[in-house]
Structure 1
Amino acid sequence: MSDLTSRTVHRAAGPDRRSFLRYTGALGAAAAVTTTLSACSSGPESTNATGDGGTGGGATLTAVIGYGNDGSWDPTQTASAFAMAGNEHIYEGLLGADPITREPYAALATGLPADPRATTWAFTLRPGAKWHDGRPVTADDVVFVYDRILDPKTQTLAKGFFASWLKEVRKTGATSVELELKFPFPDGAARLSLAKIMPKHVFSKPGAWDEATRGKAVGSGPYRQTAHHPKSNTTFEAFDDYNGPRKAAFAKMNWLTIVDAAPRVAKISGAGADAEIADNIPYANIGQLKKSGMSVEGGAGMNNLFLLFNTAHRPFDDIRVRQALHYAIDRDKMIEAALKGHGKASTSFLDEANPSYRPARTVYAYDPAKAEKLLREAGVGKLSVRLMAVNVSWIVDCLPTIQEGWEKLGVDVTLDPQETTAVFTKLDQKKDFQVVAAASNPNQFGLDADLIMHYNYGPENLWMGYARWADAAVAKKLFRDMDRATREPEAGRKKAMVQDYIDVVAEQAVLYPVVHNELMTAWDPKKVTGVKAQPYPGINLLQARWT
């Protein structure tokens, strides 16, 4: 699902951008945007504790992922839920980040920045770290990846997470590097987990980035990729020479991609069950799975259904029309009927557990009378809307509630669910559309509000290109306010600035969530332990082990 989720997603020119759209795959869960995170102090415990480091004999762990594995596997480009989850097991950043709390830890580097508020961070690489082909990891590999990310001529998804605050990465020794920041930015430490270090000797070759996009993966992490079959499965095995903090507990893993809900659930339940864990569990199957002895847990965070309006297509250039269509949606009914209670009506762009959350000044409570009034004020009589949507199962379940609310306004509604890649290929090709409904989860990249908001909004942001809104006067002021908040050194003031500009985002409703929902993971506790359900798509088995 999210398979398009990023801070400031820049427009890429030519083939780079087409490749990005083709291979990011599915939006929601982040387009699986993937699925994203709870930051409440009373939320899930940290998963920084490592497993026992055993190999579990020669057994193969089988996992079922509810998103496609045919998105990009290039760590600098991908927002694919499947690929991002797989890459967490294959690659390392200088720092890693706890999958639940996002607390940074030393991964390929030997320690955290000595002073997170300094504008120079020095790192030494872990002694003895090797690539999966046996060659040593060097500082040249680190510089190679960051040069690609920061190169103004190379448009990558990762650029949006770093370019605003990171000036340069330079080699200071054979296994040491230095990061120079543009200004103090403590939040950047957790973001270093997003820059997966890749071997220069492999990916500097002609055509290698295209190979990475198609699934080639060579990392320094605890698991190495052994086979990749798009639309079927990807396999892994423990890397014997790995000497880092997240040792492999499974000798082999086979991750199946099963997007359709029924066969996915069948793989982990009943007499024919042959998988130990599955994500993206439909709400209707929770009770059945628990009765059969499975553990089923959820993670609540930024995973959301959003509406994206084409502001170049009248009357969606009128703020009143966009607001009216939001006020006409009965979110409580959607949560009850489609999400079976596993969701909350969005009262801000951020989910309620985010540390920067407060209710926005504009909250779209169900108000048909207000919606009708706004349409009249906008001079809209008969309105026909084709709602293009991704075919992620829970999104499709939510569409009838949207249709019902809009039809009560007198709007003629046509629902048009399609494969996620088909939806975003059309958007990338600048084909005309009216409204898109899709899923997103920027928490797959992180928790901080600056990252989440810049993933969706910015002058060169991919989403704003889809919406045709970046050149509007109110948008330009918004982007300036966002940049000022990024640079604000005082935490309390920065939080207030973020909340203020989110009020503008809520009022404008160009790209805005309808509901935030919980993502469910199921596993067999008789076979696997140490699993933590993520509030974003995919799974993380770096602290799990055989029971």
Structure 2
Amino acid sequence: MRDVTPTPALHRRSFLKYTGALGAAAAVSSSLSACSAGPESTNDTGGGGSGGNSTLTAVIGYGNDGSWDPTQTASAFSMAANNHIYEGLLDTDPISREPYAALATQVPADLTGTSWKFELRPGARFHDGKPVTADDVVFVFDRILDPKTQTLGKGFFASWLKEVRKIDAMNVELVLKFPFPEGVSRLTLAKVMPKHVFSKPGAWDEAIRGKAIGSGPYRQTAHHPKSNTTFEAFADYNGPRKAAFKKMNWLTMVDAAPRVAKISGASAGAPIADNIPYANIEQLKKGGMTVQGGAGMNNLFLMFNTQHKPFDDVRVRQALHYAIDTDKMVQVALKGHGRASSSFLNEGNPSYRPAKTVYAYDPEKAKQLLADAGVEGLKVDIMAVNVSWIVDCLPTIKASWDAIGVETTLDPQETTAVFTKMDQKQDYQVVAAASNPNQFGLDADLIMHYNYGPQNLWMGYARWAGDPVAKKLFKDMDQATQEPDATRKKTMIQDYIDVVAEQAVLYPVVHNELMTAWDPRKLTGIRAQPYPGINLLQAKWA
């Protein structure tokens, strides 16, 4: 495997176990066992109050039964929880993604070299009372960079990070393959874990199932897959973002109706929830809730099987994108909370520029492209994940394709079913699904490598990696990663995104907002994220 592998070529079954969701967009069933006996009541006993010893109850619209291993997971629930339980050398602001010193005492002043040195925070302890040392830092990075160990984290570090060295008990050095200033924000993805706990036989399997011991402001007190996870403030935490809530109880409620009901009315059982359906926004506002959206990379994408004719022809892929009435989709399905994609990146990304190919609604052009490709009487089956907002968007795609003479069948199903079929290399035509790489960060190099690359999981599903255009694209991506000049790098990334847009192998149709609701009479300091989950490290009782 090359160092620049963007996303580990995991077997899909393992990938689903690690992530718990496709791009953290849908819950995935599993048979994981609880980490402690007998679930705590999921009915909060203090979330309706505020201050003192009250428990903050939060409702998360994603499953808590995905992997909790920080080196592996893309699960919305566990990634959000791990940001409260664990620390990186540096962590990042949940909105701006600016790095700040977490376990390290400071952010390196010079990011232009190939050596970054960090001193660990004096007195930092893990939740079991043991001190945090350089050995723990090296332990985690060694796992991520180990060529024999397949982790999701490898795709975020292996292309630019050579090794992590112990200087002494409280100091480490990161040795880079080449200058890579963007890497400093990625250090939050390498959560420091206690070597004395997770080096034991079977410990990584326990981490997947939910065992979490970090050095962050909250320690996990119970974990019950498909039900709830509880936390309490860690008394010995001496870092920069102290716990404001003595206890927290995070409920997993994937179904929208009970999630909205839990935060509604005078007897609401929780003051905050994420993943709010657009149809419930006004209802919640009238009830006194604040409802805000975060616009980012959350998107509905189409992925074509390029080995199933006629989808090997770029003109056919383009035609089907041009045919979609995206304005109607945004207004009807997304209730105005989205935008038609004009690049792979969303418009708020620092590296965004409109792609040279923008799929504005043009049914006549779509018909002409199909005619040019010699395609008549095309019948398409869209295999889609059954995420609620994706399902809401599907009728617009069907109506649009039917209107240009493409007979379209919608086939929404469980996420696991969709990707098990691709794992088994079953034939398919088009997949419609959701993705949001913003949970890992904002930098365009990370986002694009998460989706495209020679051994990338998604490119394996699209069966495109062997195409000559793909090989040239991957080479251009590698060169952009190593480009030292920031302005030049940005241009190089924008240029290869033009190729991604033109080829339309895996490409977003719309980017949408993710909505968070909270009671401002009870909570303050909440900020809506443009990716799944919540971050309460700067929140407090009102």
Q: Give CA-to-partner distance per residue, 1:50-99, whole Å, 9 cap, x none.
A: xxxxx942111111111111111111111111111011001100000000
Q: 1:81 aligns with which of 62, 67, 76?
A: 76
Percent identity of equivalent pairs = 80
1:108–1:125: 8 Å Cα contact kept in structure 2? yes
Report the counterpart of residue 3 of structure 1 in structure 2.
none
TM-score, L = length of structure 2: 0.93
SS in 2 for 1:227: strand
Report the counterpart of residue 229 of structure 2 in structure 1.
234
Report 1:203-242 matches (<5 A). Answer: 203-242=198-237
In 1, Cα distance between equivalents of 2:494 and 2:282: 38
Q: Give CA-to-partner distance per residue, 1:260-284, whole Å, 9 cap, x none.
A: 1111111101244101100011111
1:372 aligns with 2:367: yes
1:243 aligns with 2:225: no
Shift of 1:132: 1.0
In 1, Cα distance between equivalents of 2:250 and 2:26: 20
Report 1:24-173 matches (<5 A). Answer: 24-29=19-24, 56-173=51-168
SS in 2 for 1:289: helix
In 1, Cα distance between equivalents of 2:210 and 2:379: 41
SS in 2 for 1:404: helix
Report 1:377-396 matches (<5 A). Answer: 377-396=372-391
In 1, Cα distance between equivalents of 2:61 and 2:415: 13
Report the counterpart of residue 288 of structure 1 in structure 2.
283
Shift of 1:196: 0.6
Shift of 1:414: 1.9
User: Which residue type is aligned with residue 199 of structure 1?
Assistant: P
Q: Give CA-to-partner distance per residue, 1:92-142, whole Å, 9 cap, x none.
A: 000000000000000011111131111100011111111111111111111
1:439 aligns with 2:434: yes
Report 1:394-543 matches (<5 A). Answer: 394-543=389-538
Which structure is richer in relative contact order (CA contacts within 8 A, separation 6 or more)?
Answer: 1
2:26–2:62: 8 Å Cα contact kept in structure 1? no
Q: Give CA-to-partner distance per residue, 1:415-440, whole Å, 9 cap, x none.
A: 12222233233333333221111111
SS in 1 for 2:142: helix
Q: Give CA-to-partner distance per residue, 1:385-429, whole Å, 9 cap, x none.
A: 221112211111111101111111222222122222332333333
Q: Give CA-to-partner distance per residue, 1:429-467, whole Å, 9 cap, x none.
A: 333221111111111111111111111111111111111
When structure 1 is superposed on structure 2, of 228-237 and 17-26 the one drifting more is 17-26
2:5–2:455: 8 Å Cα contact kept in structure 1? no
In 1, Cα distance between equivalents of 2:88 and 2:268: 35
Return closer, same or farther for 1:498/1:507 CA change in 2, 3 Å cut-off. Answer: same
Q: Give CA-to-partner distance per residue, 1:183-207, whole Å, 9 cap, x none.
A: 1111111100111111111111111
Report the counterpart of residue 38 of structure 1 in structure 2.
none
1:7–1:456: 8 Å Cα contact kept in structure 2? no
In 1, Cα distance between equivalents of 2:336 and 2:107: 40
Q: 2:312 aligns with which of 291, 308, 317?
A: 317
SS in 2 for 1:169: strand
Return closer, same or farther for 1:265/1:31 CA change in 2, 3 Å cut-off. Answer: closer
1:304 aligns with 2:299: yes
1:31–1:441: 8 Å Cα contact kept in structure 2? no
1:30–1:444: 8 Å Cα contact kept in structure 2? no
1:117–1:186: 8 Å Cα contact kept in structure 2? yes
Report the counterpart of residue 188 of structure 1 in structure 2.
183
Return closer, same or farther for 1:204/1:425 CA change in 2, 3 Å cut-off. Answer: farther
User: Which residue type is aligned with residue 296 of structure 1?
Assistant: V
Shift of 1:7: 8.5
1:21 aligns with 2:19: no
Report the counterpart of residue 9 of structure 1 in structure 2.
7
Shift of 1:228: 1.3
CA RMSD of aligned residues (A): 1.6
Return closer, same or farther for 1:30/1:175 CA change in 2, 3 Å cut-off. Answer: farther
In 2, Cα distance between equivalents of 1:424 and 1:112: 40
Shift of 1:29: 4.1
SS in 2 for 1:372: helix
Q: Give CA-to-partner distance per residue, 1:126-162, whole Å, 9 cap, x none.
A: 1111111111111111111101111111111111111
User: Which residue type is aligned with residue 12 of structure 1?
Assistant: L
Q: 2:251 aligns with which of 230, 252, 256?
A: 256
